[in-house]
Amino acid sequence: MPADTNSNGDIFGGWLLSQMDLGGAVFARNLAHSRVATVAIEAMSFIHPVLVGDIVTCFASLQSIGRTSMKIDLEAWVQRHTDGPLHRVTEGLFTYVAIDEAGRPHPVRR
């Protein structure tokens, strides 16, 4: 939406990153069967700009799982025109930690 643009008129990168973080958190929560917190974002690349009106989809895949943490590859893809192809616009490696009700790390329950 226009409210999400930067000074170039493209979609603000922080908005896109937050959508990826939200999507990854849902994926991680379902894996861990508990609350999760984002602890790190690595290797974040903005490959192509996102334009107002683009339809954004985030794809998540598990890269590795530790004792309490999960590393999740996230990519955002956009569809620019109705029925058009999807283009990959970002990628990043997000780490989530399974946390208990007090916000302390606890082992991932699988």
Ligand X SMILES: CC(C)(COP(=O)(O)OP(=O)(O)OC[C@H]1O[C@@H](n2cnc3c(N)ncnc32)[C@H](O)[C@@H]1OP(=O)(O)O)[C@@H](O)C(=O)NCCC(=O)NCCS
What residues make contact with ligand X under the rule CB under 6 A? 37-40, 66-69, 95, 97, 99, 103, 105
CB of 32 to ligand X, least distance (A): 11
Please enumerate in sequence order all residues whose Cβ is within 8 A of that of 96, keeping only pairs 6 or more positions apart, or say none. Answer: 24, 25, 28, 32, 36, 37, 38, 39, 69, 70, 72
**From the CB of 103, what's the least distance to ligand X, in Å?**
6
The angle formed by the CA atoms of residues 94, 96 and 98, to the nearest 5 degrees, is: 170
Instruction: Choose between 16 and 78: whose C-beta lies nearer to ligand X.
Output: 16
We find the least distance from the C-beta atom of residue 49 to ligand X, in angstroms, to be 26
